[in-house]
Chain A
Amino acid sequence: MSLWEYANPVKFIRATDRVLPWISILAISSLTIGLVWGFFFTPDDFRQGSTVKIIYLHVPAALMAINAWLMMLVASLIWIVRRHHVSALAARAAAPVGAAMTVIGLATGAIWGQPMWGTWWAWDPRLTSFLILFLFYLGYIALWQAIEDDDTAADLTSILCLVGSVFALLSRYAVNFWNQGLHQGASVMRAGALAGDTQERVSNVFFLPLMVCIVGFVLLFVALVFLRTQTEIRARRTRALIAREHAS
């Protein structure tokens, strides 16, 4: 019994079919609990008033935008090394979800920034590198759609993902150099919080609903990727059946 067993599309579909309802229910319930808790049952911030509540969407979405790309990177590597089709399809399935998360992060940030910073947009390093990340997502999705042959598309996009990761990192530090930031640094949880110092993280009143929201977003991402990968596998199988029909 190893993880690689699920590289078999049939086994992958069977296994994900079994866990998908549970993950979906958990994702929906934790998102509902987290968002309702965050929006209605937490006090307003001393300085920011009620605008602080957008954190329950902004932070999890931004977190998942980056982690989705990391997941695509790992899946691309697995495809290049072990040639499992499920892996390539999972990377393909994750890209639009990641792009959507990036848009949510940027949009909620802009909505929060308008009353707080007095501007919708600033050329701040974090904001700028997120915009660049979004462009990488767009290019990746566009390349998948442009190429007809499935294996060629998987090969090319996975190499683009590898090269893109290096350049996305480079851009991240380049824009850091280029302009000083307006966005706050790490503040939800700094290094000292792991040692149990409660001064080093956000107060529990905000922290607990935020954690529930983050868990909800992670589960939502997993559920969407599973579902979309299943769809990709089935779409490819349908195409193969149709092609066989025409051939005979």
Chain B
Amino acid sequence: MIALLRRDLALAIRAGGGFGLGLAFFLIVTVLVPFGVGADTALLGRIAPGILWVGSLLACLLSLDRILALDWEDGSLDLLATAPLPMEGVVSIKAFAHWITTGLPLVAAAPMLGVLLNLPGPGYVWLFVSLALGTPALSVIGTFGAALTVGLKRGGLLMSLLVLPLYVPTLIFGAEVARRGAEGSAVQTPLLMLAGISFGVTALLPFASAAVLRINLR
């Protein structure tokens, strides 16, 4: 398992792995928003938590097809399927590697981009916490979507259509935590719900992803 994790991380970080692309996309989206809605700092401060959440969600989505597509093409997925490691373990590790290479940088960068959007002071901590709790769920759900569409030639667009509705609950509670945090009101309820969704999908969804992947590898 650890070997697989190290292999995926190495592949992602070395040249051609696309590491940092998601981060750059996040930066661009955040920079583009003020051009779209105007430079009114009060307005930007109010919508900043939502923008940052949607931006990181899109950045996550952009990198999903890298989770499985390359391994599918060169056949290493077939090798992994015959390995003693169960498929559930493989998809969990894949999702974890995706989170480390995409989710974690996003979490780290979000507070800095918050400065650009004039995020109110108390919002930084809660934005960081909500993203740190929520991005693993995004990676796990995304792995399910990637597993569903892995055999298709132009699966990218279809995957977005499948994955985005599944992201709705995570986005609602994640953005709610960040928004309430920025306003300085109590965050406990949405925070608990977000944690529940995150842990719940991490525990259960790999089974569905593995089942889907086995069907696709048939």
In the complex, whether B172 has a CB less than 8 A from a CB of chain A is: yes
A143 to B176, CA, bound (A): 31
Cross-interface CB contact of B148 among A160, A162, A168, A174, cutoff 8 Å: A160
Smallest distance from the beta carbon of B114 to chain A beta carbons, Å?
A: 21
Cross-interface CB contact of A159 among B161, B165, B212, cutoff 8 Å: B212
Q: Considering the complex, give the chain A residue whose CB is closest to the CB of B168.
A: A171
Q: Which of A14-22, A130-138, A191-199, A235-243 is the contact stretch?
A: A130-138
A170 to B218, CA, bound (A): 31
In the complex, whether A178 has a CB less than 8 A from a CB of chain B is: yes
Cross-interface CB contact of B166 among A155, A167, A177, cutoff 8 Å: A167
Residues of chain B lying within 8 A (CB to CB) of residue A70: none
Q: Considering the complex, give the chain A residue whose CB is closest to the CB of B163.
A: A139
Cross-interface CB contact of A147 among B152, B173, B211, cutoff 8 Å: B152
Q: Categorize the interface residue count of chain B.
A: 20 to 34
Residues of chain A lying within 8 A (CB to CB) of residue B149: 143, 146
A143 to B166, CA, bound (A): 15
Do residues A159 and B211 form an inter-chain contact, with CB atoms below 8 A?
yes
Near A by CB (< 8 A), chain B positions 39-67 give: none
Do residues B212 and A142 form an inter-chain contact, with CB atoms below 8 A?
no
How many A residues have CB within 8 A of the partner chain? Answer: 25
Q: Considering the complex, give the chain B residue whose CB is closest to the CB of A162.
A: B208
Smallest distance from the beta carbon of A36 to chain B beta carbons, Å?
A: 38
A160 to B212, CA, bound (A): 9
- With A152-B215, A160-B148 already in contact, the answer to whether A167 and B168 are too (CB < 8 A) is yes
A136 to B176, CA, bound (A): 23
Do residues B216 and A163 form an inter-chain contact, with CB atoms below 8 A?
no
Do residues B172 and A163 form an inter-chain contact, with CB atoms below 8 A?
no
Do residues A174 and B173 form an inter-chain contact, with CB atoms below 8 A?
yes
In the complex, whether B197 has a CB less than 8 A from a CB of chain A is: yes
Q: Considering the complex, give the chain A residue whose CB is closest to the CB of B171.
A: A174
Smallest distance from the beta carbon of B126 to chain A beta carbons, Å?
A: 16
Do residues A152 and B216 form an inter-chain contact, with CB atoms below 8 A?
yes
Do residues B176 and A178 form an inter-chain contact, with CB atoms below 8 A?
yes
Which of B162, B164, B189, B193 has the most A CB atoms < 10 Å from its CB? B162
In the complex, whether A156 has a CB less than 8 A from a CB of chain B is: yes
Q: Considering the complex, give the chain B residue whose CB is closest to the CB of A175.
A: B172
In the complex, whether B151 has a CB less than 8 A from a CB of chain A is: yes
Cross-interface CB contact of A152 among B165, B189, B208, B218, cutoff 8 Å: B218
Do residues B212 and A156 form an inter-chain contact, with CB atoms below 8 A?
yes
Do residues B169 and A174 form an inter-chain contact, with CB atoms below 8 A?
yes
Smallest distance from the beta carbon of A37 to chain B beta carbons, Å?
A: 38
Do residues A160 and B193 form an inter-chain contact, with CB atoms below 8 A?
no
Residues of chain A lying within 8 A (CB to CB) of residue B166: 163-164, 167
Which of A138, A170, A177, A178 has the most B CB atoms < 10 Å from its CB? A170
In the complex, whether B124 has a CB less than 8 A from a CB of chain A is: no
Do residues B144 and A163 form an inter-chain contact, with CB atoms below 8 A?
yes
Given contacts A152-B216, A174-B172, 16 further A-B contacts (CB under 8 A): A132-B168, A139-B165, A142-B158, A142-B162, A146-B152, A159-B148, A159-B211, A159-B212, A160-B148, A164-B166, A167-B166, A168-B165, A170-B168, A170-B197, A174-B168, A178-B176
Considering the complex of A and B, which 10 residue pairs feature the smallest CB-CB distances, nearest first?
Answer: A174-B169, A135-B165, A170-B169, A139-B162, A174-B172, A155-B215, A171-B168, A178-B172, A139-B161, A167-B166
**Residues on B facing A (Cβ under 8 Å):** 144, 148-149, 151-152, 155, 158, 161-162, 164-166, 168-169, 172-173, 176, 189-190, 193, 197, 205, 208, 211-212, 215-216, 218
Query: What are 13 sample pairs from A and B whose C-beta atoms fall under 8 A apart?
Result: A138-B161, A139-B162, A146-B158, A147-B151, A147-B152, A155-B215, A156-B215, A167-B166, A171-B165, A174-B172, A177-B189, A177-B190, A177-B193
